[in-house]
Amino acid sequence: MSPRSRVILDRAELAAIVQRLGAAVEADHPDGVVLIGVLKGALVFLADLVRAVQHVEVLVDFLAISRYAPNSGRVRIVQDVQLELGGRDVVLVEDLIDTGLTCAYLLQHVQGLGARRVEVCTMLDRPGRRIVPITPRYIGATIADDAFVLGVGLHHHDRYRNLPIVLEADRSALDNDADAFTAWYGSAARSSSERPDFAMGAGGTLAE
């Protein structure tokens, strides 16, 4: 039996999310904004988002952090922001916010660099697992507490980041076989009837 998986955000839905969030960021920051992507996960989403903000000046920078102990919130910044943030509006861009521990740490760090205003934009939010009470201003979609997701920067041991869709996958299957969902490579552009059989599980797009 093929491992279970399903598309929760397809290309069209992701494009609509990016356009919606880009318009909101633009409306909130008429004097321009600095978008700071959290590497590596936010890179793909950020690349789409920055192109959706078309009528105000946008500067782009990155933060990279080390791995941390689960649920500890303890991280080490291994690549810091290079731009001068003093007096600027900043949006911290994430792929997924879970417990909020890392996001809270990064918010405090960026605020400490002198930003005038700091907001958070996340492609996916999982509020049911929140430990720190953070509410991102810009949210693409909300996912279930137990959903393990791949694609658009989300990964399993650095694989599957380049899938152009967000896929909910069986993590135990990946732990047993890292190639469990490689059939999705090249299939994301096909119609649903042509996609791998294991993509046809119940469910569909999550509410935005």
Does residue 206 lie in a domain region?
A: no
Q: For residue 54, what are the domain limits? A: 5-199
Q: Which of 31, 98, 175, 179 is catalytic?
A: 98
- Is the pLDDT score of 69 beyond 80? no
How do residues 89-98 score in pLDDT, each as one tens digit? 999 999 999 9
> pLDDT band at residue 197, thresholds of 50, 70 and 90?
very low
What's the structural domain count of the chain?
Answer: 1
How do residues 70-113 score in pLDDT, each as one tens digit? 555 567 888 999 999 999 999 999 999 999 999 999 999 999 99
Q: Is 145 a catalytic residue?
A: no
Does residue 207 lie in a domain region?
A: no
3-state secondary structure the chain: CCCCEEEEECHHHHHHHHHHHHHHHHHHCCCCEEEEEEECCCHHHHHHHHHHCCCCCEEEEEEEECCCCCCCCCCCEEECCCCCCCCCEEEEEEEEECCCHHHHHHHHHHHHCCCCEEEEEEEEECHHHCCCCCCCCEEEEECCCCCCEEECCECECCECCCCCCEEEECHHHHHHCCCCCHHHCCCCCCCHHHCCHHHECCCCCCCC
CATH of the domain at 79: 3.40.50.2020
